[in-house]
Amino acid sequence: MTRKAVGFGEDDLRALAGARSFERGLGYLDAVSGLEVGEGSVTAVVHGTEAYEVELTLGGDDGPSGWCDCPYGQEGNFCKHCVAVGLTVLRRAKTIPRQQDAARARASGLEAWLTALSRDELLALVREQIAESRPLRRRLELRAAAARSDLGTVRDRILTLIDPRPFARYGYVEYADAPAYAQQVAEAADALRTLTADGRAAQAVGPAEEALRVLGETYEEIDDSDGVVGEAAAAVAEAHLEACRVARPDPERLAEWLARMVLDDSNDVTDLDPLDYADVLGQSGLARMRQTAAEALRRRPSDWTARYLMERLVKAEGDVDALVALHAQDLDPSGATHLCIAEELESAGRADEALAWAERGLRECAAQTHIDGRLVDHVCARYAKAGRADDVVAVRRDRFRVERSLDAYRQLRGAARSAACWEAERVAALAALREDARPDRGGRYGGPVLIDVLLDDGDLDAAWREAVGRADDRQWERLADLSRETRPAEALAVYRRLVDRSKEPTGDRAYERVARLLLAARDCHRALGTEDAFAVYLAGLRTELNRRRKLMSILDRYGL
């Protein structure tokens, strides 16, 4: 009944906030004041270190969501204050539908009242609001200037709306102020579109470019965690593109401006794609942009923005050889660039050349511990398709020799099984891993890969032999879990040892692990017929750790 009335329940709040914030929110129920119910949301003030404003949606298809101007909430989190407001709403769930009806009635009444006002009464009301609200006056001045084609005022008003300084109280726009600033940027985009619609597209191009320049220079000083400023800036970029398509500005000048925007790697507020302007730029504009990108690459060969621009232009022209040559100038040691070249050639129907480039990547990156796995997969897939199973095994074997990991072992195992040669390959692979696991080799964090692969193979007898003096706690726990039914006594000894090591850490995650280990130990005692011994052990452990109330509650929850 409660959930149906407001669109969410306690479980939804706990899932959004997490256990810690939900528990803390319970302590703020008496700090909620000024609860105001709208048609689909509620607002309130929660008094904590300061008075924080909270807005909470009342559910819907996407479930509830909340916003709070406390520091934690400004990072996009569903904080304890949101929890407190949500719980307060649930307490008052029976009255919420009536309050929503009242909110709808107020909105309807306002609409009816405004509709009934005469022209002079409406003008008086607007003038009154303009006198009291500077932001509203600026927005209406912009609309008026656009309507009468006062281009100087339009430009000034657009730049005023784009200016973030009024929102930058401490030198930058904080998360809480970003939505208001984004609204102004969106209004600037609307004004630019209005100019284009009114036949003034040529006059909209310049202000749009200046607005995008300002946004690019200041975006790093804006906390746009929710992306609202970015969305509004994208609307300005769309307005610029629309104006260019109508006005048809000088293509070479436009090309130079676009190139500057793309090549400025600090300007990431809009993801301008020069190819969106291809119909406006024409051949001369595209050629000028390619020339600009080439000049930038000559000056700074490692400039990724210039390389990205050049790649986009060359790819759009369909010149595969030029694209291959461009990629070949800066081959990544991971093999990622070789793969990119191979994929481009394959898409162009040049499969033999594509495979040659991929194989070259494997040779040139053979000594790298971490090669791009996609390149290895690419070559192996082509070999497998051609029936070259032995070559697939050779590639996987070479990678395993360099990268002694569980994943590399699994890849070798799969390839060797397909080629019916796994037994011989496994002997050699395990020998190499045993050599790595020698105590005098040192230098490895965690337990040896040897134990991981034995566990992955299901070779538990060998894993038990190799684990002594070598395995880490993670591997011991995995080994015990897999052996609980067949070796309950050995597994029990592992669980007891791990419980002893887990006594010191605190926190929900640590306590959950203790409970999991105890449940496993209880299963072992049951298999051994020594459940009374487990009861004595558990009682002693609870006595030892009884001051940790959260641990005790977690153990109670698991029936321990």
Position 4 scores a pLDDT of: 58
What is the structure's pLDDT at 1?
39
Q: Name which of 364, 473, 369, 453 is nearest 411 in CA terms.
A: 453
Does pTM surpass 0.75?
A: no
Question: What is the rounded distance in angstroms from the CA atom of residue 167 to the CA atom of residue 157?
Answer: 16
**pLDDT the model gives residue 308:** 83
> Would you mind telling me the total number of residues written for the chain in this entry?
560
Q: Which amino acid is residue 315, in one-letter code?
A: K
State the CB neighbour count (10 A cutoff) for residue 136.
13
Helix (H, G, I), strand (E, B) or coil at 41: strand
Tell me what pLDDT residue 489 has.
95
> DSSP string of 199-257?
T-HHHHHHHHHHHHHHHHHHGGGB--TT-HHHHHHHHHHHHHHHHHHHH---HHHHHHH
Helix axes 449-457, 460-467, angle to 10 degrees: 160
Q: Which residues of the chain are modeled with pLDDT < 50?
A: 1, 443
- pLDDT for res 450: 94
Spatial separation of the C-alpha atoms in residues 442 and 366, rounded to whole Å: 24
Q: How far apart are CA 173 and CA 229, in angstroms?
A: 11
Report which of 217, 283, 207, 220 is spatially closest to residue 247, judged by C-alpha positions.
207
CA gyration radius for the chain?
33
Angle (nearest 5°) at CA 100 between 98 and 101: 65
Report helix, strand and coil shares of the chain as percent, to nearest 5.
70, 5, 25
Residue pair 100/38 in contact (Cβ under 8 Å)? The answer is: yes
pLDDT attached to residue 150: 75
Rounded Cα distance between 67 and 43, Å, is 10
Q: What is the pLDDT of residue 455?
A: 95
